Chains A and B, each alone.
Chain A
Amino acid sequence: MTSTLPGWVRFAAPIGVGLLIVVAWTLYVEFGDAPRMLPSPAAIGNEFVLRWDIIWDDMLITGTNALIGLTVGSVLAVIFAGLAAAARPIDGMLAPLVAMLAVVPIVAITPILNTMFGASSQFGRQAVATIAAFIPVFVNVLRGLRQTRPVHRDLLRASAATGSQTFRFLTLPTALPYLMTGLRIASSLAVIAALVAEYFGGPSDGIGTSIATYAKSGRAALAWAYVVGGILIGLAFFLVTSLLERLVARRSPV
């Protein structure tokens, strides 16, 4: 059914649905019995434009925390996945640890980390984002490092390639699309983790802190405008990593 849809419908349909929701939302706020914390979309948009400079500053704080977490978490994940793929005993050691780390609820350790590193440090938030990003990258890269095809391994062996050459010419390029998939998943998680971590202390800046502050003080439209800011960060991360993934996947193993 989807194959018969003309191209413009693919763009028009979601926009139409979005407009419909905005109209319904506005009508509900204007004429319905809406709670006080739900302002109309127009009010939120207005506040977003008006307060853009402070929203942008906080977006930079949260975005930077997420980016640092994503970068550090991914680099660590690649290194550990490389070690696990290279040696079975290391894999055996790491597997239960990673499984443990994967089931630790991020929100559970966030207050501890935030208190540990003090109210003036972003480190606790970055550490939370790092842990969140680590898991999907580790799992995907480890999988990718094991996807080399027998015919390729035979070829490299027949060409008398050294171990490091085999890694550089075959194992790494084969794992690259998997790394990109891991990064795409990790990017959203890192943003969410960095934002949620702000609810549990640390410095009084960032998107999450602002949402909490303005929601508590009853400035609903501004709180919602910050939510939009958070969405924008998440979108930016997702789009960049999706683009990277698509670029790499163009020549992925057939």
Chain B
Amino acid sequence: MTTATTPIPVTDLAVKASGVGKIFPTKAGEVTALTDVELEVAAGEFVSLIGPSGCGKSTLLRLIADLDQATSGELTIFGKPARRARIDQDYGIAFQQSGLLPWRTVGDNIALPLELHRVGKAARAARVAELTELVGLTEFADRYPDQLSGGMQQRVAIARSLAARPKLLLMDEPFGALDEMTREYLQGELTRIAAETGAAVVFVTHSIPEAVFLSDRVVVMSPRPGRITDVIVTELGDVRDESLRETPAYFEKVTAVREALHGTKVERANER
């Protein structure tokens, strides 16, 4: 999936960031949240951003989503500026909080992005049926969010992020507030959904096993100032099931990411 040797044409890149930096002005002076970020995410690729708090991983995601603007460097999504990509609905997004509107049913929440873009009622209903099926919540389409468990709410949020059939999914610690078992279950579901939709995913997390299990590449970041310090290719193949969690290859990559995070420098041949 990832090829470091052959250059990828720029339009096939879901995300291309070069020299991206972000400075927040505060009362105590300027804070450099991100500096000199070089990142390419290929179409269909699953990339995790991992690092301690303050490393700018969420900031980077918000820049890609055009929820904040970069102060320096160049950032393109499918070859377009981030703002254009946002308006064209080229990406779907999910946050740590599900962010469901409590006065709308599950179905209406999933259909929200479509409704905002004036998709017809029949087409919306059809898409909601597909998506509730995809995330296994068909019977819950008429319920309200407060009648659902945290894990189910998060599945609704994922379904909503897929509503407009985006080719890029941005996820900011979507499983961060869930218990371990729900979390592992949803990780498996997410790899299946990502494979079925063929969408590229940029996934922010601070869980090492989660990053390794899900990703084609794990981008390791470090704070003060926020920057990318390492990129680890997992090479775990396309099939990600529960048995993968117990293979030596998986453990090896978990160790590699952990060492990269803790700064014990290990020479790796496959760094980009």
Binding site for B on A (CB under 8 A): 149, 151-152, 154-161, 165, 169-170, 173, 176, 251-254
Partner of B89 from the list A159, A169, A170 (CB cut-off 8 Å) is A159
The complex places the Cα of A157 from the Cα of B112 at a distance, in Å, of 12
B95 interface contact, C-beta 8 A: yes
> How many interface contacts (CB-CB < 8 Å) are there between A and B?
57
Are B116 and A161 interface neighbours, CB within 8 A?
yes
Determine the chain B residues whose CB is within 8 A of the CB of A160 once the complex forms: 86-89, 116-117
Whole-angstrom distance from the CB of A90 to the nearest CB of chain B? 27
Q: Which residue of B lies closest to A252 (CB)?
A: B102
The complex places the Cα of A139 from the Cα of B88 at a distance, in Å, of 38
Partner of A151 from the list B99, B112, B145 (CB cut-off 8 Å) is B99
The complex places the Cα of A166 from the Cα of B101 at a distance, in Å, of 12
Are A251 and B103 interface neighbours, CB within 8 A?
yes
Determine the chain B residues whose CB is within 8 A of the CB of A165 once the complex forms: 116
Whole-angstrom distance from the CB of B165 to the nearest CB of chain A? 14
Q: Which residue of B lies closest to A162 (CB)?
A: B116
Are B103 and A154 interface neighbours, CB within 8 A?
no
Secondary structure class of chain A's binding surface, majority of residues? helix
Encode contact with A along B33-69: 1 for CB under 8 Å, 0 otherwise: 0000000000000000000000000000000011100
Are B113 and A254 interface neighbours, CB within 8 A?
no
Are A154 and B145 interface neighbours, CB within 8 A?
no
Binding site for A on B (CB under 8 A): 65-67, 86-89, 91, 93, 95, 97, 99, 101-103, 112-113, 115-117, 144-146
Given contacts A159-B113, A160-B116, A254-B146, contact A151 B103 (CB under 8 A): no
Are B67 and A251 interface neighbours, CB within 8 A?
no
Are A158 and B116 interface neighbours, CB within 8 A?
no
Are B93 and A155 interface neighbours, CB within 8 A?
yes
A/B interface sample: 22 pairs, CB < 8 A? A151-B95, A151-B97, A151-B99, A154-B67, A155-B95, A155-B112, A157-B86, A158-B66, A158-B67, A159-B89, A159-B117, A160-B88, A160-B116, A161-B116, A169-B112, A173-B103, A251-B102, A252-B102, A252-B103, A254-B102, A254-B145, A254-B146
Q: Which residue of A lies closest to B95 (CB)?
A: A151
Determine the chain A residues whose CB is within 8 A of the CB of B116 once the complex forms: 156, 159-161, 165, 169
Are B65 and A158 interface neighbours, CB within 8 A?
yes
The complex places the Cα of A252 from the Cα of B95 at a distance, in Å, of 21
Besides the known contacts A149-B97, A157-B66, A254-B102, 13 further A-B residue pairs in the complex with CB atoms under 8 A apart: A154-B67, A155-B93, A155-B95, A155-B99, A156-B116, A158-B66, A158-B86, A158-B91, A159-B113, A169-B116, A251-B102, A251-B103, A252-B103
